[in-house]
A and B are shown apart, each in its own frame.
Chain A
Amino acid sequence: AQTVTQSQPEMSVQEAETVTLSCTYDTSENNYYLFWYKQPPSRQMILVIRQEAYKQQNATENRFSVNFQKAAKSFSLKISDSQLGDTAMYFCAFISVRNDMRFGAGTRLTVKP
């Protein structure tokens, strides 16, 4: 069974600084996709970034980038130049072509002014 682990329940960062959120997963599949979702206080789930397992190049979306280590089954999210609006719960998620999406327990990120 696929599992997703986020070992950091809570993190904080100063505004304009950089923070990295960790995520590991376990799967026997070779073709899969990884995601980071953001859930602000409104509780709307917002897709932050997406990575295809067959791509070696790490995905980047503006201030958000990932460090995808397929052999280590690691998928961390780096947020550069943190902004107050980045304060939210962040969920790492995994999906393969044969399974539904699995989520980690989440990391609560607080950006401090």
Chain B
Amino acid sequence: SQTIHQWPATLVQPVGSPLSLECTVEGTSNPNLYWYRQAAGRGLQLLFYSVGIGQISSEVPQNLSASRPQDRQFILSSKKLLLSDSGFYLCAWTAENYGYTFGSGTRLTVV
């Protein structure tokens, strides 16, 4: 069965520190992968998506970057975090029925 793992679940980081969030998918190959951000009480904003290894598309310019070093691994990074980077980050992949399956999310607080 297909599963998606996302970690860490919670992260508190100081302003200016680096960030690395990881997402891995099991049970499928060549999935489309996505990073979303959700501010408190708000909707989901698409940050990045990837249709294959090394292929990254960015929706909005920001302090973050993404990489896909392996087929089923998707990483969200930052060199220097800003206060505005705080939020809830969700990784997702596309199932065959076009529905997205989401990871459990990472709650990032930048202090």
Interface positions of A (Cβ within 8 A of B): 33, 35, 42-45, 47, 50, 91, 93, 95, 97, 100-106, 108
Contact = CB atoms under 8 A, between A and B. Distances in A.
Interface in B76-104: 88, 90, 92, 97-102, 104
A106 B99 contact: no
Given A45-B90, A106-B42, A106-B43, A50 B99 contact: yes
**Which 5 pairs show the lowest CB-CB distances between chains A and B?**
A45-B102, A105-B43, A103-B44, A33-B98, A95-B98
Contact of B44 (A44, A47, A50, A91): A91
Interface of B: 32, 34, 38, 41-44, 46, 49, 88, 90, 92, 97-102, 104-105, 107
B49 A47 contact: no
A100 B34 CA distance: 9
Nearest to B97: A50
A103 B43 contact: yes
A43 B98 contact: no
15 contacts: A33-B98, A33-B99, A35-B100, A43-B88, A44-B102, A45-B100, A47-B99, A50-B99, A91-B44, A97-B98, A104-B43, A105-B42, A105-B43, A106-B42, A106-B43
Contact of B99 (A35, A44, A103): A35
A44 B90 CA distance: 9
